[in-house]
Amino acid sequence: QVQLVESGGGLVQPGGSLRLSCAASGSIFSINVMGWYRQAPGKEREFVATISSGGSTNYADSVKGRFTISRDNAKNTVYLQMNSLKPEDTAVYYCNVRNPSYDYWGKGTQVTVSL
């Protein structure tokens, strides 16, 4: 059984920073894509960023230049460094790990950007 546990969410003022972490436990084949998605109240879940096991990254236009995704393959952990946060970044952030054989999701961590 694979579990993804996110951490690092919280309340931050506009312009502030947060770092999200997602640790995968269980049997995960090393070749995969790890990523972050988010869902704001009343909206559908949307793509934020992904990183392949080889280190290739992709970002949503809305976060380019502000967010950085990284991973530690030895620890099966993916990170999301979020800088210059805006109120519109407020959402529940979900971790995802997938490859052609599986697709796992975490339970999410709340990020709130407000004064």
pLDDT band of residue 26 (cuts 50, 70, 90) is confident
Look up tokens 């959402």; give the residue.
91
Please tell me the predicted confidence (pLDDT) of residue 34: 95
Q: Tell me what the pLDDT averaged over the chain comes to.
A: 94
pLDDT band of residue 95 (cuts 50, 70, 90) is very high
Burial, 85: exposed, middle or buried (Cβ in 10 Å; 0-12, 13-18, 19+)?
Answer: buried
CB neighbours of 53 closer than 8 A, spacing ≥ 6? Answer: 30, 31, 32, 33, 34, 71, 73
